[in-house]
Structures are given as structure tokens and as C-alpha cells.
């Protein structure tokens, strides 16, 4: 008899083998080019496959999701609730980040010598990050709102980082479909419904190679960080230990304290069962560092394993993957504090309120792709007068923290999905959860 290994175990095995590969290859001095030429491509293929379906999935599921909310009243009720919880949890996340950041004060633990060294080492990379962010300088903090509106839907839909614009179009199109005669709307909805089913089936196909993809992603990441001197990776990680610890503690509080409390308060879903349902989603978010790439699996697990209705999932989750980033906003709060502390710039209460405002907008504006949060951090730093070149200080650990904050980003989406589903009487967990 064929025993079925659950998806999360397969991903976990891939992840562990990838880490092992990375360390062994660095310690044995195997040429990094082997990993980058023959292993990394499989990780890239896996992520590309996931990204390939992200856009049609967002477009189709949101159009179907919105238009199936039979009337505009139901849409505004569910939309209002969803956006309110998304915003509230984002503000809560930043506040938690700021409180821990003020308690631990990670920036003040960094010796001057290390700071200079990091600045010098990463100055080059920072200028790359800053180049990407150049357009964000000297602009209104409301620019993310302007950027939400596409001026050409075809070009927005051809660019994975313009997902927010596609979301806006899809929501408007969904509302329009409710408002036109049913017989005109039906074929359009049927088309997008079919497209939606098709992309979800593709997820099953792509997940077959998930363990290999995750193995390759982790293996090449470790080899990259370690270079040919594994010690250097450890040194840098140790120097930034307190900063990372602050971010990770904040993220852990969100996942293990805040979300379970909210789930208990607002749903009948047992917390253990919830975590079992979304475990593979968290592992995939960790391995890909991308909410967008994780979205197809998030939708599948929330519907099949958590038991939220298709109607709720297809509205709440694509929206969440794009605009709700509790992990990113928490990280931006801590990072801004850390950089200010490290550069000896005092931040008063008003500055910290400014961080709450700008990090909320910046996290909404961050695309669900790796490293997006780092680029948008520039907006936060600009608003409180902290030199953006300070980003150099945190660059070394950003990739790892990106993986962790992405886990929180997607966990937040699934938690809100459960709450909305419960409030709409559309949460019916299946008997078995693998």
C-alpha cells in the first residue's frame, strides 16, 4: 500500500536537505558555481511556475469572488469588515514592533566598529536597493495610494509587481458585473470561474515539485550567504543578532499570541486545527519569501483544509496577499527604530506615530515579492529624517528576515479569512485535516 506523506512533511524534508546541502558544500569548499549552475535553477523554475499563475489567479478569483457576492450590500459589508481587520492588525503589528524595539533597543548594542564595517561592506548593495527606491524619495507619503491606480490595465497585468493595480481593477470589474443585467454578466463570470478552477488545478501540478524547489532555494541561499567562508555568514549574523531577535520576537508574538487570540475570540475553529491546515502555506512562504507565489496554495488550503467557503477565500485572500502585510509592517517599524538607534538619532513620540502611519502605507504598497519590504522602508526612513543609507546596516540579515516576515504576512491573511468566513457563516472545517 502506498503511504501518503503530507505536503508539509515533504516541504520540510526538502528544506532540511537544502540547508544541509548549503552548509556541507560551504564547509567542504565545493565551488559555489556548482550550486548556482545546477541546483539554483530548479528553485528558480519552481518560483517562476508559482508566479506564472499568481496573476491570472488574482484576477480571476477576485472578479469571481466579488461578482458572486450577489449584491453590492453584501460586498460592502464583507469588504468593509475585511479592510478594517487588515488595517487594524497592521497597526497592531507595527505597534508591537515599536514597543519591543524600544524595550530591547537593538541598535544600541551594535559596536561602532561593526557598524562602520557593515556600512562599508554593504554600501554597494545598498546603493542598488536605493536606486530601486530612488523614485520613492522626496514624494508624498500618499504616493502608494496613487500607485494603486493603473493607467493601463494591460501593462499592469503584465507586471507581477503591479498586483495592487490588478486588484483594484478586479474589484471594480466585479462590482460592475453585479450591476449589469445578469444575462450579460453570466458569460464573463463563467469565463473567469473557469480560469480560476484551471489555475487552482495548476497549483496541484506545481506542488508535485515543491520539495525539490524548496531544496534548491534553501541550498543556494545558504551557499550564497556563506560564500566560500562559512564563518563570515556567522559573524555577520551574530553582529545583527539582537536586531534579528527583536524582529523575530515581534513576528512570533503575532503568530503565536495575537492570531490565536483573535481566532478564539472570533471563530469556532480550534487553533491546533487551524495551524495544521495552514502549515504547508507557512513553509512555502518561508521558502519563497513571496506572498504572491504562496497565494495559490494559501487559497487551496483555506478552502479545502480550513473549510472557508470559496466565496470568502476568493475575495479575502488575493486582497490580503497584496495589501495585508503584518510581518512586513512590523519589520519596517523595528528596522526604522534600529537604524535610528544605531546612528544615534533620537526619535520622539511624534516620529514613532509617523512610523505607524508610513509603515502602514508602505506595507500596503509593498508587492508580495522577495525584498519588497526593504525597498518600501525608504518611505518610512524618509518620513522621520533617518538617512536611507542606514539600510546598509540591516542588509545582511534581510533575506532571512524576509522569509520570516512573509510567513507572518500569509498567516495574517489566513487568520482574517477564518474570521470573515465565520462571520458570514461560511466556515465549515472538514473532518480530516492532513
Phi, psi of 218 (to 5 degrees): -70, -45
Which stretch of DSSP H or E encloses residue 346?
Answer: none
Distances (CA, A) of 416 to 80, 95, 238, 258, 337: 13, 19, 35, 12, 28
CA 265 from centre of chain? 25
- Give yes or no for residue 373 binding ligand ASP (CB under 6 A): yes
Residues pairing with 427 in the sheet: 308
| Candidate list 106, 141, 307, 368; residue touching ligand ASP; CB under 6 A | 368
- CA-based nearest residue to 82, from 321, 254, 250, 284: 321
Instruction: Tell me whether residue 75 or residue 364 sits nearer to ligand ASP (CB atom).
Output: 364
Distance (Å, whole) CA 242 – CA 109: 7
| Candidate list 68, 298, 328, 358; residue touching ligand ASP; CB under 6 A | 328
Distance (Å, whole) CA 252 – CA 259: 10
Distance (Å, whole) CA 371 – CA 255: 21
| Candidate list 193, 300, 326, 402; residue touching ligand ASP; CB under 6 A | 402
- Give yes or no for residue 414 binding ligand ASP (CB under 6 A): no
Query: Minimum CB separation from ligand ASP for residue 290, in Å?
Result: 4
Query: Minimum CB separation from ligand ASP for residue 394, in Å?
Result: 12
Query: Minimum CB separation from ligand ASP for residue 330, in Å?
Result: 10
Coil/strand/helix, residue 367? coil
Given the rule CB under 6 A, which of 66-74, 133-141, 225-233, 287-295 is the region that contacts ligand ASP?
287-295
Residues 177 and 62: beta-carbon distance below 8 Å? no
- Give yes or no for residue 217 binding ligand ASP (CB under 6 A): no
Query: Minimum CB separation from ligand ASP for residue 176, in Å?
Result: 29
Distance (Å, whole) CA 134 – CA 127: 10
- Give yes or no for residue 196 binding ligand ASP (CB under 6 A): no
- Give yes or no for residue 287 binding ligand ASP (CB under 6 A): no
**Which region holds residue 140: left if phi is over 0, alpha if psi is between -120 and 50, else beta?**
beta
Q: How buried is 277 (Cβ within 10 angstroms: 0-12 exposed, 13-18 middle, 19+ buried)?
A: buried
Q: Which residue has the cell 526538502?
A: 14
- CA-based nearest residue to 267, from 143, 87, 420, 394: 420
| Candidate list 61, 244, 287, 290; residue touching ligand ASP; CB under 6 A | 290
Given the rule CB under 6 A, which of 37-45, 90-98, 270-278, 399-407 is the region that contacts ligand ASP?
399-407
Q: Among residue numbers 224 through 243, which ones bind ligand ASP (CB under 6 A)? A: none
Q: How many residues does the chain have?
A: 434
Distance (Å, whole) CA 139 – CA 256: 37
Given the rule CB under 6 A, which of 114-122, 198-206, 266-274, 366-374 is the region that contacts ligand ASP?
366-374
- Give yes or no for residue 289 binding ligand ASP (CB under 6 A): yes
- Give yes or no for residue 409 binding ligand ASP (CB under 6 A): yes
Grid coordinates of 222: 545558504
| Candidate list 67, 68, 291, 322; residue touching ligand ASP; CB under 6 A | 291
Instruction: Tell me whether residue 163 or residue 386 sits nearer to ligand ASP (CB atom).
Output: 163
- Give yes or no for residue 160 binding ligand ASP (CB under 6 A): no
Using Cβ positions, the residue closest to ligand ASP within the complex turns out to be 373
Given the rule CB under 6 A, which of 136-144, 193-201, 295-303, 402-410 is the region that contacts ligand ASP?
402-410
- Give yes or no for residue 174 binding ligand ASP (CB under 6 A): no
- Give yes or no for residue 322 binding ligand ASP (CB under 6 A): no
What residues make contact with ligand ASP under the rule CB under 6 A? 289-291, 325, 328, 366, 368-373, 402, 405-406, 409
Amino acid at each position: 500500500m502506498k503511504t501518503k506523506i503530507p505536503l508539509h512533511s515533504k516541504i520540510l524534508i526538502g528544506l532540511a536537505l537544502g540547508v544541509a546541502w548549503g552548509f556541507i558544500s560551504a564547509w567542504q569548499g565545493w565551488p559555489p558555481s556548482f550550486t548556482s549552475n545546477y541546483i539554483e535553477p530548479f528553485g528558480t523554475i519552481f518560483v517562476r511556475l508559482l508566479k506564472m499563475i499568481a496573476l491570472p489567479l488574482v484576477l480571476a478569483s477576485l472578479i469571481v469572488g466579488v461578482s458572486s457576492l450577489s449584491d453590492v450590500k453584501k460586498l460592502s459589508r464583507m469588504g468593509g469588515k475585511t479592510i478594517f481587520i487588515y488595517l487594524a492588525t497592521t497597526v497592531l503589528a507595527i505597534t508591537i514592533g515599536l514597543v519591543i524595539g524600544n524595550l530591547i533597543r537593538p541598535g544600541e548594542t551594535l559596536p561602532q566598529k561593526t557598524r562602520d564595517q557593515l556600512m562599508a561592506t554593504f554600501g554597494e548593495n545598498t546603493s542598488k536597493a536605493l536606486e530601486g527606491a530612488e523614485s520613492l524619495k522626496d514624494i508624498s507619503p500618499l504616493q502608494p495610494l496613487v500607485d494603486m491606480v493603473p493607467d493601463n490595465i494591460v501593462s499592469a497585468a503584465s507586471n507581477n509587481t503591479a498586483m495592487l493595480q490588478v486588484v483594484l481593477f478586479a474589484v471594480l470589474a466585479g462590482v460592475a458585473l453585479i450591476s449589469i443585467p445578469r444575462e450579460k454578466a453570466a458569460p464573463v463570470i463563467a469565463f473567469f470561474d473557469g480560469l480560476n478552477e484551471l489555475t487552482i488545478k495548476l497549483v496541484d501540478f506545481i506542488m508535485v515539485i515543491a520539495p525539490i524547489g524548496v531544496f534548491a532555494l534553501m541550498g543556494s541561499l545558504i551557499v550564497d550567504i556563506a560564500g566560500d567562508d562559512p564563518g563570515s555568514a556567522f559573524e555577520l549574523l551574530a553582529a545583527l543578532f539582537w536586531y534579528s531577535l527583536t524582529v523575530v520576537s515581534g513576528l512570533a508574538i503575532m503568530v503565536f499570541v495575537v492570531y490565536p487570540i483573535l481566532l478564539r475570540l472570533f471563530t469556532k475553529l480550534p487553533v491546533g486545527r487551524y495551524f495544521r491546515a495552514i502549515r504547508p502555506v507557512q513553509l512555502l512562504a518561508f521558502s519563497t519569501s513571496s506572498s504572491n507565489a504562496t497565494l495559490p496554495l494559501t487559497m487551496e488550503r483555506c478552502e479545502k483544509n480550513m473549510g472557508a467557503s470559496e466565496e470568502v477565500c476568493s475575495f479575502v485572500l488575493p486582497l490580503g496577499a497584496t495589501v495585508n502585510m503584518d510581518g512586513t509592517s512590523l519589520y519596517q517599524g523595528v528596522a526604522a527604530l534600529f537604524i535610528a538607534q544605531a546612528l544615534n538619532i533620537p526619535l520622539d513620540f511624534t516620529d514613532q506615530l509617523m512610523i505607524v502611519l508610513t509603515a502602514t502605507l508602505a506595507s500596503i504598497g509593498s508587492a508580495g515579492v522577495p525584498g519588497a519590504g526593504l525597498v518600501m522602508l525608504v518611505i518610512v526612513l524618509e518620513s522621520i529624517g533617518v538617512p536611507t543609507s542606514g539600510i546598509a546596516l540591516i542588509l545582511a540579515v534581510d533575506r532571512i528576515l524576509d522569509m520570516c516576515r512573509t510567513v507572518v504576512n500569509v498567516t495574517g491573511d489566513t487568520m482574517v479569512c477564518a474570521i470573515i468566513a465565520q462571520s458570514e457563516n461560511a466556515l465549515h472545517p472538514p473532518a480530516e485535516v492532513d
